[in-house]
């Protein structure tokens, strides 16, 4: 008699393991450890050659070919001539492993497609995964309040470095971000913002190719450069709203960053 497995229970268990620090498995295939132990006990009375034969051989699968996935993402992104086509290409893309690790859907963006400011976060969370839009949970609601207070409502296009929720809400890996990067760069090209606001350490490190922590990077202007070197934009890292919810005293620093950004965004452009 077979028992049905509740996918939600499996996802909950995976999230528990991830929170506990489990980030790898010994094998993709299940192993009956009781049967294995019984075989080893029986083998003690047999010749050494038989003992060796009784042991199962574990063969690890090869790691995904990240370079191939990046090339596929680059080709798919280049074929998109508007944001609607880009969102469809991301949803259809199978090269990012996060898509098969419990995510319900691709979470691409929200905000006007001609916004002067693009906000780039780290990854979708559970609320974003459920609703299909970035920054809609508690952290997103705090971000919206901050944007409203600084006069940036309806002037921002919001997205993330990856488009699927990582299991257990862990930080996306550099490899996962690299696979999604061609789509993100294409979004930047299509929106054509004047500057970038990088939310959180994982976003700032991935976009700026730097190793410092967010407390060191925040509040400082950098130049983001596209992978082909054809586009440069001023980029300001700041603290993630989720961090601000845990550390309310840090809100002052994030507010200073927003004021700095707004002043530069509203500064009249110099004539060419």
Model pLDDT for residues 169-179, shown as the tens digit of each residue: 999 999 999 99
Query: Which position has the higher pLDDT, 240 or 4?
Result: 240
- pLDDT given at position 46: 55
> Is the Cβ–Cβ distance between 187 and 83 less than 8 Å?
yes
> Is the Cβ–Cβ distance between 184 and 106 less than 8 Å?
no
**pLDDT digit string (tens) for 147-171?**
999 999 999 999 999 999 999 999 9
Pairing of strands 232-238, 222-225: antiparallel
| Residue keyed to tokens 């961090």 | 243
How many other CB atoms sit within 10 Å of the CB of residue 102? Answer: 19
Calpha distance 235→195 (Å, rounded): 6
**pLDDT digit string (tens) for 1-57?**
445 556 665 565 555 555 544 444 544 455 565 666 666 666 555 554 443 344 443
| Residue keyed to tokens 């488009």 | 163
Domain ranges of the chain: 66-265
Calpha distance 263→269 (Å, rounded): 12
How many other CB atoms sit within 10 Å of the CB of residue 161? Answer: 25
- pLDDT given at position 61: 40
Mean pLDDT of 61-76: 83
For the domain spanning 66-265, the CATH number is: 3.40.470.10
Backbone phi, then psi, for 195, in 5-degree steps?
A: -160, 170
Instruction: List the 232-238 sheet strands across, edge first.
Output: 156-160, 117-121, 195-199, 232-238, 222-225
Mean pLDDT (the chain, rounded): 86
Q: What band does 118 get if pLDDT is binned at 50, 70 and 90?
A: very high
Backbone phi, then psi, for 209, in 5-degree steps?
A: 55, 50
- pLDDT given at position 7: 61
Predicted TM-score (pTM) of this structure: 0.76
Mean pLDDT of 183-205: 98
* Interior angle at CA 150, CA 155 and CA 140, nearest 5: 70
- pLDDT given at position 71: 97
- Tell me the three state secondary structure of residue 258: helix
- pLDDT given at position 269: 72
Calpha distance 109→154 (Å, rounded): 13
Q: Which helix (H) or strand (E) segment is 71 a member of? A: helix 66-78
Q: What band does 117 get if pLDDT is binned at 50, 70 and 90?
A: very high
Calpha distance 268→241 (Å, rounded): 29
Token reading at 236 = 């300001």
């Amino acid at each position: 008699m077979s028992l049905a497995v509740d996918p939600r229970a499996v996802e909950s268990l995976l999230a528990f393991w991830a929170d506990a620090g489990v980030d790898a498995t010994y094998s993709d295939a299940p192993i009956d450890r009781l049967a294995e132990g019984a075989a080893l006990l029986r083998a003690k009375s047999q010749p050494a050659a038989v003992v060796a034969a009784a042991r199962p051989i574990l063969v690890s699968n090869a790691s995904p070919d990240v370079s191939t996935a990046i090339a596929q993402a680059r080709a798919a992104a280049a074929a998109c001539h508007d944001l609607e086509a880009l969102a469809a290409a991301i949803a259809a893309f199978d090269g990012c492993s996060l898509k098969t690790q419990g995510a319900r859907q691709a979470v691409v963006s929200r905000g006007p497609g001609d916004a002067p400011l693009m906000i780039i976060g780290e990854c979708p969370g559970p609320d974003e995964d459920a609703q299909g839009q970035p920054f809609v949970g508690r952290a997103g609601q705090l971000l919206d309040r901050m944007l409203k207070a600084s006069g940036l409502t309806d002037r921002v296009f919001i997205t993330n470095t990856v488009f699927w929720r990582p299991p257990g809400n862990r930080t996306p890996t550099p490899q996962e971000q690299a696979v999604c990067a061609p789509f993100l760069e294409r979004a930047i090209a299509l929106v054509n913002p004047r500057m970038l606001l990088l939310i959180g350490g994982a976003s700032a490190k991935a976009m700026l190719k730097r190793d410092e922590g967010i407390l060191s990077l925040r509040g400082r202007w950098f130049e983001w450069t596209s992978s082909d070197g054809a586009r440069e934009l001023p980029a300001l890292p700041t603290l993630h709203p989720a961090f601000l919810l845990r550390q309310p005293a840090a809100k002052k620093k994030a507010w200073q960053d927003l004021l700095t950004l707004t002043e530069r965004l509203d500064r009249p452009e110099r004539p060419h």
